[in-house]
């Protein structure tokens, strides 16, 4: 548990962008793209970077959070919807073509790809065109591999119950967590899940317990299930937000609202992140905030340090994972970041 986290931005949009890309500059690759670029994929029939049901609007949502930017187009994240509820047919939007056979579709795709390759040669190896060609091929291969991975009915009743699937409070995030375990088992390198609705500027006394109840059982189940499948030591789990909340209450009505309607504001100066699994010390707490719980004062870990540590735990040197663009080398941590060696097992 990192209790001395801090970051640079007070507003959702730049803070979320920095969390995902290491920068508030709009033209930067996401950390999932960096990981995929550094490690490659283990399964040619599935994307190497998948984000499940991400927010795409408002201050906290953006396609830039899983974009490849100037990295090769094949490094971008693939967005998928929440896996189907029990009894519904598992499917991914726009993936299957139900009007033609697989054989005919393969012939059609070969024709399209021949035209794409001809155009690609004329453009002198344009990476966006190369990305289009690769995405067509991957989508075709996914038609055979993805439905099985996304079919949660293949799990036992006991496993689904463990994640809280079928229960109103935990079903949504429980399905995400179970899908994450299945994707990791299938060789997907980087998986991001989203649990939104934590922006408690008001009504925190009711909303916070509700949010905690939605994720507590599924997260515990994911850790337990990874251990049961022998995957825990090879899987890095990171739970974090873009910043923390103030230790004092916030009243948006200038003192007119009852206390039960109070909330808490944004706090980038001191918050908590936890990691588990691959290479992390278990049952260990590092860092602290001041007596008010407002500002990190001991064991301070900046967001750049978190990124450097994540890459280290995945076997990548954050200073050597670079990509040359526009005349200089770029990296996820830019010119910053130190590995937090104190939390390494």
Token readout for 339 is 């590995």
Task: Provide the pLDDT for residue 292.
Answer: 97
CB neighbour class for 72 (10 Å; exposed up to 12, middle 13-18, buried from 19): middle
Token readout for 327 is 């005349």
Backbone angles phi, psi at 112, to 5 degrees: -60, -40
Token readout for 341 is 């060696």
Task: Provide the pLDDT for residue 46.
Answer: 95
Q: In whole angstroms, give the CA distance from residue 83 to residue 174.
A: 10
First to last CA, the chain: 13
Residue count of the chain, please give it. Answer: 345
Task: Provide the pLDDT for residue 87.
Answer: 61
Domain boundaries, the chain: 2-86+161-343, 91-150
Return per-residue pLDDT of the chain as tens, 345 residues. Answer: 999 999 999 999 999 999 999 999 989 999 999 999 999 999 999 999 999 999 887 778 889 999 999 999 999 999 998 887 666 665 666 666 777 777 887 787 778 778 877 877 777 667 777 777 788 788 888 888 888 999 999 999 999 999 999 999 999 999 999 999 999 999 999 999 999 899 999 999 999 999 999 999 999 999 999 999 999 999 999 999 999 999 999 888 777 788 889 999 999 999 999 999 999 999 999 999 999 999 999 999 999 999 999 999 999 999 999 999 999 999 999 999 999 999 999
Strands (E), the chain: 2-6, 49-52, 78-80, 190-192, 236-239, 244-245, 266-267, 271-277, 288-289, 296-298, 301-302, 323-325, 328-330
Strand 271-277 and strand 236-239: the pairing is antiparallel
CA distances to 148, 161, 199 from 304, in Å = 37, 37, 23
CATH classification (class only), 2-86+161-343: alpha beta
Q: In whole angstroms, give the CA distance from residue 299 to residue 321.
A: 25
Spatial neighbors of 18 by CB under 8 A, at least 6 apart, are: 7, 8, 9, 24, 242, 303
Q: In whole angstroms, give the CA distance from residue 206 to residue 99.
A: 49
Task: Provide the pLDDT for residue 134.
Answer: 81
Q: In whole angstroms, give the CA distance from residue 243 to residue 329.
A: 28
Contact 70/76 with Cβ under 8 angstroms? no
Backbone angles phi, psi at 191, to 5 degrees: -130, 130
Nearest CA to 154 out of 119, 192, 181 is that of: 181
Q: In whole angstroms, give the CA distance from residue 308 to residue 316.
A: 9
Q: In whole angstroms, give the CA distance from residue 137 to residue 133.
A: 7
Widest distance between CA atoms in the chain: 68
Spatial neighbors of 216 by CB under 8 A, at least 6 apart, are: none
Please give the model's pTM, rounded to 2 decimal places: 0.91
Contact 4/294 with Cβ under 8 angstroms? no
Nearest CA to 163 out of 93, 117, 225, 107 is that of: 225
């Amino acid at each position: 548990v990192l209790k001395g986290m801090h970051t640079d931005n007070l507003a959702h949009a730049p803070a979320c962008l920095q969390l995902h890309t290491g920068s508030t500059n709009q033209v930067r690759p996401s950390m999932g793209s960096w990981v995929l670029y550094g490690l490659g994929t283990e399964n040619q029939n599935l994307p190497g970077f998948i984000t499940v049901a991400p927010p795409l609007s408002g201050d906290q949502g953006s396609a830039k959070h899983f974009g490849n930017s100037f990295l090769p187009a094949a490094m971008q994240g693939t967005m998928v919807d929440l896996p189907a509820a029990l009894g519904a047919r598992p499917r991914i939007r726009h993936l299957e073509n139900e009007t033609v056979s697989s054989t005919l579709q393969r012939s059609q795709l070969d024709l399209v790809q021949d035209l794409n390759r001809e155009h690609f040669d004329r453009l002198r190896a344009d990476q966006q065109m190369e990305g289009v060609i690769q995405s067509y091929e991957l989508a075709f291969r996914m038609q055979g591999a993805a439905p099985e991975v996304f079919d949660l009915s293949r799990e036992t009743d006991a496993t689904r119950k463990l994640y809280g699937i079928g229960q109103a409070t935990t079903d949504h995030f429980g399905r995400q967590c179970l899908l994450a375990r299945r994707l990791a088992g299938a060789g997907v390198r980087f998986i991001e899940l989203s649990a939104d609705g934590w922006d408690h500027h008001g009504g925190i006394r009711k909303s916070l317990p509700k949010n905690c109840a939605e994720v507590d059982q599924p997260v515990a189940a994911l850790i337990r299930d990874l251990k049961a499948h022998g995957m825990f030591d090879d899987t890095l789990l990171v739970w974090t937000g873009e910043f923390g909340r103030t230790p004092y209450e916030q009243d948006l009505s200038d003192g007119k609202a009852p206390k039960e309607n109070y909330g808490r504001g944004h706090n980038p100066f001191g918050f908590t992140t936890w990691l588990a699994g691959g290479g992390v010390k278990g049952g260990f707490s590092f860092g602290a905030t001041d007596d008010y719980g407002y500002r990190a004062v001991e064991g301070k870990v900046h967001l750049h340090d978190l990124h450097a540590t994540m890459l280290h735990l995945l076997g990548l040197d954050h200073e050597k994972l670079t990509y040359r663009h526009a005349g200089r080398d770029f990296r996820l941590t830019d010119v910053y970041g130190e590995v937090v060696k104190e939390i390494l097992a």
